[in-house]
Amino acid sequence: MLVLQLLVSGIETGALYALTAAGFALIFGATRIFHFAHGATYALAGYAFVFASRLGLTWPLGGLLALLVAVGFGLFLEAAVYRPIQRHHGAFFTIFVAAFGVVIVVQSLIELSFGRAFVAISTPLTRAHEILPGLYIARVFWLAIVVASLVFVSLGAFLARTRAGIGLRALSENPDLLRAFGLSARRLSALAFALGSALAVPGAVLGAATTGLSPAVGAHVMLISLAASVVGGIGSLRGAALAGLLLGIVETLVVAFLDTQWSEAAGFVVLFVFILFRPSGLFGAAVAR
Amino acid sequence: MIAYLLNLAQLAAIFGLLSVSLNILIGYGGIFSVAHAVFFGLGAYAGAHVALDLAPDILLAALAAALIAGVFSALLALPALRVRGEYFVIASLGLQMLATTVFTEASDVTGGLGGLVGIPPPTLFGVSLADPLVFLLVCLGALALALAVVRLLMRGSFGRALMALRDSESAAEALGKNVPLLKTLAVLLGGAGAGIAGALFAFQEAFVNVESFTLDQSVLIMAMVIIGGAGTLAGPLIGTVLLLALPAALTFIPGLPPTDIGAVQQLIYGLAMTLLMIFRPAGLAGRRAGQR
Amino acid sequence: MSALLSMRGLTRRFGGIAAVDGVDLDLAPGIITALIGPNGAGKTTLFNLITGHLTPDAGSVALAGHMIGRRAPHHIARLGIARSFQDLRLFARMSVRDNVLCATEPASWFWQPGGKAARKARAERALAATGLEALARADAADLAYAERKFLSLARILATGARIWLLDEPASGLDPASRARFSALLRDAVADGVTICLIEHNLDIVIELADRIAFLDQGRKLAEGDPATILADPHLAAIYFGERA
């Protein structure tokens, strides 16, 4: 029953990772910007939610605040950090280091304003109910599954059906198509950042309500997003989502066999194996040198 | 006060060695590793064990540390040969996270969170180096040696080949450069340098534990190289001195609680990294963008 | 006339599309062969297949009768085949002199074969020949357009390679630079160097080429002396039709 219980919470974690990783993949796929600070967006959204609930706001208002913070932050980075760097040379390392700096700044700001300790907010959603003998499922599990499915279905529809969605997919590969559609690359790039950042919000809010947040959560989420992107195939949304789910499950299931300290490491063993033996990932085209 | 300054100077020399060795990878080889603290740690544990189990001879410890760190640097060379930039950064991050866990859990070797304690003061061929000033000279000597080696190598054909592959891998290949071999050598050199820094660190602190070898430490070393100026001889040293002096300087700010110093320090160097990348990507010692 | 470098049935596909499709081509020693054809004809891909930057799906490459297919690029380079890139790929953050010196040092190890003085002399000769002596200390990134093109050529000169594969080396050069460039290639050929040149500018082709191979959609449509190929109305239609 322990394995089943862990599987349940693995799926819950994985669904949220999947959303966050899909946000990263969406941004990278559309703009070719390696948005390393995506984890910082997650952390800011989570802490915005905590802040709102400390003010006594209801959770929908808190969620809205988190969404605004995430999208605003994503747009700010695109305009104030990535675009100026891309204008003069845009080397990958330069963008990576700048984004890494942002991650450090956000982490230390959170540390200064909320302290280093874990913060969590309790809601009735996290109270577990016994479904089968020995198997507890909290309502937040269903919420995570429903939210993740809904978001993925609507994201898929948006990318497949709308002009802006098709433009996003064409942005990196076929700029001619953009002109034919009368879309601006600059606005689409901003759209990619807005949407991608928004995708981090469900994970951040539900994360704040379940496992809790610490200033270092941004770095952790960033690593998971990156790992999921590689395992899924860089730039592939579907791959990132599936790999996010997989990493969440692996991370949780490992606890059945090893100490909890190994749970994060297990994800990286998966990552390492993929990088060495299948660098193109689950869905990626051949991308090794 | 003198003791404090000597201690700081020793640390500066050790971290100088670290950033100079990372500069071989990042600055000259274009191999962007965020796992340098792993090799620092391997060297520290190796040095500590030599001192605790064999003899506290600093040369022996440094050799063992360089060897262990060098051998394990293959773990970094392997992905470096297989995949390009973005992937390699992620692989090195993954290696760093794995290593932190292994350092914490393999307590038979590393002492776990408690670490290895009671490392005896260093000797050299039986002569004690326990005096802080003498030990500082040893650290500075190691740093000077590393700088001399880097300068010699980078002005020679090896350095040119390494920088060539940094600037264009395919053009370097077209001129007959064996890219996998060059990358492996660069990683090995950088790893060995970090290992030696680790052994010195073990003696300096007389204690090692995993806290010193985490992702934060790797990022700090990376920041030293980048802020100072990757690919220049002086850059990493400038970065090291600036970033090590920062926490000390912050203690003079009135009204700043000591518990917040760590966070403020991170805030400043994170901000410095981002702003430099926007306005002066080659670092303080490097050339300004577009300068002709 | 025996070929120095000969390709047989060379094929490379990307996805479903054959970028190079069963190409047979011989580079005769001591002459300039020009590869022409519309964009996407597979000219650069052919270079990549020769130099090992891409592995062929089928076919072979032989250098003086020895198979060299499927070797690593640095092995092939050390056999005396040098190439330039359309986008030059200079070592941007190295000095002009180091760019050229680097080309004289084939080993990746800490020590180089042959005398240091001889290598230095070869590098200086390459700098002098391309008129870059005065700029030797400048960073490659800081050069003007024509200077970059000459640096790319200086690197090849300095390798001492006997076969040069040049990818649009003269595009965008002003008339004076172009004359200087043509003279450099003719000198090299007079020294016995074998050159294969990708070029869009037909004036340059007419001026330099001893032989022309015409590629379209990965296939070699024709090969022969310049007068015959350039007079063929069918090829002209393909060439100019595609480019319009």
**Gap between the Cα atoms of A72 and B84, Å rounded:** 32
Which range, of A164-173, A244-253, B220-229, averages the lowest pLDDT? Answer: A164-173
DSSP letter for B56, please.
Answer: -
As a CATH number, domain C1-79+199-244 is 3.40.50.300
Q: Which chain B residues are within 8 Å of C82, Cβ to Cβ?
A: 174-175
Q: Look at the alpha carbons of B110, A269, A207, A126 in this order and tell me if their dihedral is positive or negative.
A: negative
Chains that touch B (3 or more CB pairs under 8 A): A, C
The shortest C-alpha distance from B43 to chain A (Å) reads 22
pLDDT at A126: 66
Tell me which of C135 and B255 has the higher pLDDT: C135
A89: nearest CA in chain B?
B289
SS3 of residue A280 by DSSP:
coil
Which range, of A57-61, A285-289, B229-233, C187-191, averages the lowest pLDDT? Answer: A285-289
Average pLDDT over residues A108-116: 89
Q: Do C92 and B167 touch (CB under 8 A)?
A: yes
- Residue at B58 is within a domain: yes
Q: Do B274 and A101 touch (CB under 8 A)?
A: yes
Asked if pLDDT for residue B96 goes beyond 60, the answer is: yes
Q: Do B158 and C109 touch (CB under 8 A)?
A: yes
Tell me which of C129 and A228 has the higher pLDDT: C129
- Residue at B259 is within a domain: no
pLDDT band at B288 (very low <50, low <70, confident <90, very high): low
Contacts of A188 (CB under 8 A, 6+ apart): A30, A164, A167, A168, A171, A178
pLDDT band at A172 (very low <50, low <70, confident <90, very high): low
Asked if pLDDT for residue A82 goes beyond 60, the answer is: yes
Residue in B24, B151, B157, B179 to test binding to C, most C beta-carbons within 10 Å: B157
Quick one: what percent of chain A has pLDDT higher than 90? Answer: 22
pLDDT band at A284 (very low <50, low <70, confident <90, very high): low
- Residue pLDDT, tens place only, C44-71: 999 999 999 999 999 999 999 899 988 9
Which range, of A125-134, B221-230, C139-148, C207-216, averages the lowest pLDDT? Answer: A125-134
User: Which strand (E) or helix (H) includes residue A129?
Assistant: strand A128-132
Quick one: what percent of chain A has pLDDT higher than 70? Answer: 87
CB pairs under 8 A between A and B: 132
Q: Could you say which residues from 259 to 288 on chain B have a Cβ atom under 8 Å away from some Cβ of chain C? A: 287
- Residue at A148 is within a domain: yes
Q: Do B105 and A261 touch (CB under 8 A)?
A: yes
- Residue pLDDT, tens place only, B39-58: 999 999 999 999 999 999 99
User: Which strand (E) or helix (H) includes residue A217?
Assistant: helix A217-232
The shortest C-alpha distance from C149 to chain B (Å) reads 14
Residue C37 backbone class (left: φ over 0; alpha: ψ -120 to 50; beta: rest): left
pLDDT at A49: 92
Domain region containing A236: 2-277
- Residue at B32 is within a domain: yes
The shortest C-alpha distance from A63 to chain B (Å) reads 27
CA B73 to the chain's CA centroid = 13
Asked if pLDDT for residue A239 goes beyond 50, the answer is: yes
Q: Do B105 and A259 touch (CB under 8 A)?
A: yes
Asked if pLDDT for residue A89 goes beyond 70, the answer is: no
Residue A179 maps to which CATH number?
1.10.3470
**Two structure tokens written together for A272:** 């390492």
Helix%, strand%, coil% for chain A, nearest 5: 75, 5, 20
Touching check for C41 and chain B: CB below 8 Å? no
Touching check for B95 and chain A: CB below 8 Å? yes
Asked if pLDDT for residue A156 goes beyond 70, the answer is: yes
Task: Work out how many domains chain A is built from and give that number.
Answer: 1
Asked if pLDDT for residue A29 goes beyond 90, the answer is: no
Question: Which residue is it, tokens 């074969």?
Answer: C113
**Amino acid residing at C91:** F
Domain region containing B166: 2-214
Listed as ranges, residues in chain C with pLDDT below 70 are 1, 242-244
DSSP line for chain C: ---SEEEEEEEEEETTEEEEEEEEEEE-TTSEEEEE-STTSSHHHHHHHHHTSS--SEEEEEETTEE-TT--HHHHHHTTEEE--TT----TTSBHHHHHHHHT----SSS-SS-HHHHHHHHHHHHHHTT-GGGTTSBGGG--HHHHHHHHHHHHHHHT-SEEEEESTTTT--HHHHHHHHHHHHHHHHTT-EEEEE-S-HHHHHHH-SEEEEEETTEEEEEE-HHHHHH-HHHHHHHHHHH-
Task: Work out how many domains chain B is built from and give that number.
Answer: 1
Touching check for B101 and chain A: CB below 8 Å? yes
**Amino acid residing at B204:** Q
Chains that touch C (3 or more CB pairs under 8 A): B
pLDDT at A288: 34
Classify strands C17-27 and C5-14 as parallel, antiparallel or unpaired: antiparallel
- Residue at A289 is within a domain: no
Other beta carbons less than 10 A from residue B270's beta carbon: 22
Q: Do B175 and C107 touch (CB under 8 A)?
A: no
- Residue at A114 is within a domain: yes
- Residue at B28 is within a domain: yes
The shortest C-alpha distance from A258 to chain B (Å) reads 11
Average pLDDT, chain B: 91
The shortest C-alpha distance from C211 to chain B (Å) reads 25
Asked if pLDDT for residue A103 goes beyond 80, the answer is: yes
Distances (CA, A) of B152 to B145, B239, C109, C120: 10, 21, 14, 17
pLDDT band at B287 (very low <50, low <70, confident <90, very high): low
pLDDT band at B19 (very low <50, low <70, confident <90, very high): very high
Q: Which chain B residues are within 8 Å of A259, Cβ to Cβ?
A: 105
**Two structure tokens written together for A208:** 């704040």
Tell me which of B161 and A187 has the higher pLDDT: B161
Average pLDDT over residues A205-211: 83
**Gap between the Cα atoms of C122 and C140, Å rounded:** 19
Touching check for B107 and chain C: CB below 8 Å? no
Which range, of A93-107, A112-126, A217-231, averages the lowest pLDDT? Answer: A112-126
Asked if pLDDT for residue A286 goes beyond 50, the answer is: no
Quick one: what percent of chain B has pLDDT higher than 90? Answer: 68
**Gap between the Cα atoms of A79 and B32, Å rounded:** 25
SS3 of residue B57 by DSSP:
strand
The shortest C-alpha distance from B169 to chain C (Å) reads 9
